Amino acid sequence: MSAQSQISPDLLTIATIKGLAIDAIQAANSGHPGMPLGMADAAYVLWQDFLRFDPAAPNWPDRDRFVLSAGHGSTLQYALLHLYGYDVSIDDLKQFRQLHSKTPGHPEFGHTVGVETTTGPLGQGIANAVGMALAEERLRAEFGAEHVDHWTYTIAGDGCFMEGVASEASSLAGHLGLGRLIVLYDSNHITIDGRTELTFTEDVAARYAAYKWQVLNVEGTDLPAIREALTAAKADTTRPTLIVCDTVIGRGSPKLAGSHKAHGAPFGVDEVAATKTNIGLNPQEFFAVDPSVYAHTRGNNAARADLRQDWEKRALSAKGQSLVQRLNPDLPTLAAQVAWPKQDVGAQLSTRKGGEKVMAAVGAVVPQLLGGSADLGHSTFTEITGGGHVQNGNWLGRNMHWGIREHAMGSVSNGLAAHGGHIPIASTFLVFHDYMRPANRLAALMGLQVITVYTHDSIFVGEDGPTHQPIETIMAMRLIPNTVVLRPADLAETAGAWRVALLRGKAPTILALTRQNLPELAREPALGDSVVAVERGGYVLRQEKAALKLVILATGSEVHLALGAQEQLEAEGVGVRVVSLPSLELFEAQSAEYRKSVLPKGIARLSVEAGTTRGWERFVGEDGASIGIDTFGASAPDKVLAKLFGFTTENVIAKARALLG
């Protein structure tokens, strides 16, 4: 690279970042070259002069967080990780988008070292970054700036700012005054279909000023101006900052710069060569890094390690060790300390109110827990009693006023969990899971301990009508991998569901709770601790007395109907077993022997759940039957709806008799 000897270290490094990015994309014959070429300058300034990290200890708790919200530009992040000394090699860059590589098409949390959150669905990264900044504020308020003193940076593109989740999260960030959050906006005015003017003509800067953000503008290749803007952003800790970087997509490409054609496809061999020539690289070299670039980017790594080691010394203090424990909780020990609430058999209580009792007990011993709902605290009962609420200047509250922002609530909660030190609770009515499904899915993909509490879990919402009555939702949530959905039948199962959620650690859990009161159920003495029984997902709640002819499987509010039917049928000499299945996923994870002991082969089965019957066939078999609802509900009192749709003990008995012939 002798021809490059006259290029400044800054410009040579930026050119190298661009070269690595387009080489990786060309090698894969797949990817998004335009964004890395347009945003490399600003990203370089951030990483070289502002971002605090240590590649030798990538999970150092007080590191700055970097989020690539525009995750399609992943080769930009991979090139930076490589150049600054993370465990991402040239060979890894050559394996971009290949099976089992460290460099997947979009950044994945827990897969590639240095990636703080999984991005790709646009706008999610901004919302995650808001959660990380919120986590930092809360921990710094409790443990002090000597232990918690970092910043959250994100790079976002035009598409991110079109997505509603970014708007909701940014509105919340401005309200809270999250001054240690800085967003660099890759404003290149291009999306896949063409110029943003096709659909997006609003003034984003004015919108963010209205959100109470500091807004700064720079030219995307003006390195001194970018440094000045980042310095100004850090100087104002009273509000988050948006730095609008005017960029050109595919900058450096002779034919494709500024065109939507640069967005989502490799340039081709000839245009890659022409681009390299244009930016001062040798077109005949591939994945090339001049030794001086490594010296430049990694030259400060010793100083970066010193900062981390200084923090580790301070963390030896009593308060520092408390922070370490907060970030690395011993969940089994905490669960053992919870005084799980109980009530008398027959007592009437909705599982949402039962959940409130359980949350109070869990919150008393689990400081990581952060409650909250989407403006429904008086309906979902998901506030930690006496915990106060987080507001600007009151970071130690135990509950969040999320506002009517379900999209943001789920995605900001993911950021809180990814940051560490928090087990966030996101809560709303079950029917609004559709607003939160992207966040629930990403929590599962990342393995984040986020607890989502959905109440008003069926048609028994009643008079609010079919718009608020979830039918297909429970079964749809069960389709998300790495997610456990629990629909408890009474206070004991609600406590068990919360125990599961607490012990699952790096995985999300969803609870579906009732609006209406349910009776506390009697259990077989041989069952043991009913709270612990829930971890098996399904168990024999009531054994048969006569020779077994039928197994009734039920969840949540329908379990007591199954018990009523059993009582009548047993009186007629028909042996009936009642199985409570609070979690289908946990039950299916049990051994074949256990599942067979609960659901013996050759015995007729009838399922009862106030939701779709689709999906139950794998439990009841071809010869079984299901009581459910495969239409929309109706506006009427819950007892009227129960009779209309067949959720009565009498109908369960009738279906059982028909099934048994």
Enumerate the active-site residues: 406
- What 3-state DSSP class applies to 269? helix
474 and 430 in contact (C-beta within 8 Å)?
Answer: yes
| Residues whose CB is less than 8 angstroms from the CB of residue 88 and which lie 6 or more positions away in sequence, other chains included | 78, 81, 82, 102, 103, 112, 113, 114
The H helix count followed by the E strand count for the chain is 27, 20
- Round to whole Å and give the CA distance between 626 and 623: 10
Please report how many Cα atoms fall inside a 13 Å half-sphere around the Cα of residue 209, on the Cβ side: 9
63 and 54 in contact (C-beta within 8 Å)?
Answer: yes
H or E segment to which residue 208 belongs: helix 204-210
- Round to whole Å and give the CA distance between 511 and 483: 11
Tokens of 139: 């921990």
- Round to whole Å and give the CA distance between 505 and 483: 12
Taking residue 194's Cβ as centre, other Cβ atoms within 10 Å add up to 14
Tokens of 613: 């019957």
Indicate the pairing of strand 484-486 with strand 181-187. Answer: unpaired
Phi/psi for 543 (5° steps) reads -75, 155
- Round to whole Å and give the CA distance between 12 and 118: 29
Phi/psi for 641 (5° steps) reads -65, -40
Count of residues in the chain: 661
Dihedral over Cα of 395, 400, 403, 405: its sign: positive
- Round to whole Å and give the CA distance between 245 and 226: 8
- Round to whole Å and give the CA distance between 331 and 320: 19
- Round to whole Å and give the CA distance between 275 and 294: 22
- Round to whole Å and give the CA distance between 579 and 543: 9
- Round to whole Å and give the CA distance between 596 and 115: 43
H or E segment to which residue 122 belongs: none
412-440 burial: b if 16+ Cβ within 10 Å, else e: bbbbbbbbbbbbbbbbbbbbbbebbbbbb
Dihedral over Cα of 323, 170, 510, 122: its sign: negative
Tokens of 49: 């002069």
Tokens of 643: 């009779």
Tokens of 389: 């609420």
